[in-house]
Amino acid sequence: MIRVDSLSCITLVHLYGDLLNLYGEDGNPAVIASALRADGNEVSVRRQSLGDELNLDGADLVYVGCGTEAKQLLAIEHLRRNSGNLRRYVDGGGLLLATGNAPDLFGRRIVGGDGSEVSAVGLFDYSAERVAHREVGEVLFHFGDSYLIGFQNRGSRIEFVQGSDAARQPLFSVEKGYDTAEAKEGFRIGGLIATSVLGLVTRNPAFTVWLALSVLGRRTGVGVREPSRPFRDEIERFGLGLDQVAFRAFLAHHHGIELSTDRLLEG
């Protein structure tokens, strides 16, 4: 069992929780912290925003959620002023989870529908391009062998610089959603974990387990674990439950999928 010594506190940094918090995305770091505590670890959640100098010293995971386009620009300006600290953290192998439209912040630029451009932080070789019509709805993906549910309200798409594919790994396989042509959603580049899915951690115990194991793995030198079945024991270990009746009802209502209890637990 991987476990950090109880004397060594795990630090989660929540950036702009007061600014980039559409759809209650501050629940994501709260659930991650709760899972790690249930595993017997001491956890500190450090909240930082526009009035702070970015301090990522000792951080085990940095989380950024989604916000309005106007608030995105405020966050970008602050991040650019603190880009040296952020780059040192990322280049040092730090984990950075960005959900909703938060991945837009860390590419080269954000391109508006009228062709206007805003420079982003520039950590990674991609651009965010605003879409003419928002993509809104419930989605169904596969994460390894597990089902993953979520919600998208997407006003931009990530476009990668040609030739940057070698460093990028997709996160999810799409069963129902807005990326059926590519059949993939989200990506990992080094320690960046980026996805447009909302409610990702709060609604998906298997993903939360994977993230918690990745945090512990980085601290102990094991590294990021690839998503795989079963995760059953780990879900119990991290104190995460799954309301099987509610989950089956959700799949049946939104996606027309009928699952037995055994099939649900298997993924």
**CATH 3.40.50.880 holds for 10-242:** yes
pLDDT at position 223, please? Answer: 66
> How far is it, in rounded angstroms, from Cα 167 to Cα 174?
21
pLDDT at position 245, please? Answer: 56
Task: Indicate the DSSP class of residue 12.
Answer: E
pLDDT at position 1, please? Answer: 44
pLDDT at position 257, please? Answer: 67
Residue ranges covered by each domain of the chain: 10-242
pLDDT at position 265, please? Answer: 47
| pLDDT < 70: residue spans in the chain | 1-7, 163-166, 179-182, 223-232, 241-255, 257-267
| Percentage helix, strand, coil for the chain under 3-state DSSP, each rounded to 5 | 35, 30, 35
Tokens (6 digits) for 243: 């309301």
Q: Please enumerate, as own/partner, the contacts of 237-246 that have beta carbons within 8 Å and a separation of 24 or more.
A: 237/1, 237/38, 237/39, 238/35, 238/36, 238/38, 238/39, 238/205, 238/208, 238/209, 238/212, 239/34, 239/35, 239/37, 239/38, 239/39, 240/35, 240/38, 240/205, 240/208, 240/209, 241/205, 242/205
3-class DSSP state of 226: coil
The verdict on whether omega for the bond into residue 205 sits within 30 degrees of 0, i.e. cis, is no
